[in-house]
Amino acid sequence: MESTYTYAVFFFILGALIAGVFGIYQNLKWKKLLKSTEGLLESERLIKETLRKENALAFKLKEEVEADLGKKYDEASKLIKTMDIDILLLQKDNEETEALIKTTQPELHNLKIKLIEAQNTIARLKSQLNERS
C-alpha cells in the first residue's frame, strides 16, 4: 500500500510540476501578447498624433490660401469696377466725339461709317472662307 501512496504522491507532484510549467508558459505567452498589444497601441497613438499635426497644418494652410484668395478677389473686384467706369467714360467720350464729327464734318463721318461697314464685310467674307475650308 505504501508504494501506492508513493506513486500517488509522485504523480501528484509530477502533475503539479507539469501544471506549473504549463501555467508559466501561458503566463509568458500572455505577457508577450500584452507587450505586442501595447506596442501596437503606442504606434497607433503616434500615428494619430502625427495625423492630428498634419491636419492642423493643412487647416492653417487652407485658411492662409482662403485669406490670400479673398484679398485677390477684392483687388480684382476693385479693378473691374475701375475698368467699368473707364469703359463708360470712353463710350461717353466716343459718343460726344461722333456727335461732334457728325455735326461739323458730315463727310468724314460718312466715310468713317463706310469704312466700318467695309471692315465688317471683310470679316464676314473671311469667316465664310474659313468655314468652307
* Stated pTM of the model: 0.47
Q: Do residues 102 and 109 make contact, with C-beta atoms less than 8 angstroms apart?
A: yes
Measured CA to CA, the distance from residue 27 to residue 17 in angstroms comes to 15
Residues of the chain with pLDDT under 70: 1, 133
What mean pLDDT is reported for the chain?
Answer: 89
Total of domains in the chain: 1
Give the domain extent around 77.
Answer: 2-132
pLDDT at residue 92, rounded to an integer: 86
- Angle of the 106-132 helix axis to the 2-104 helix axis, nearest 10: 140
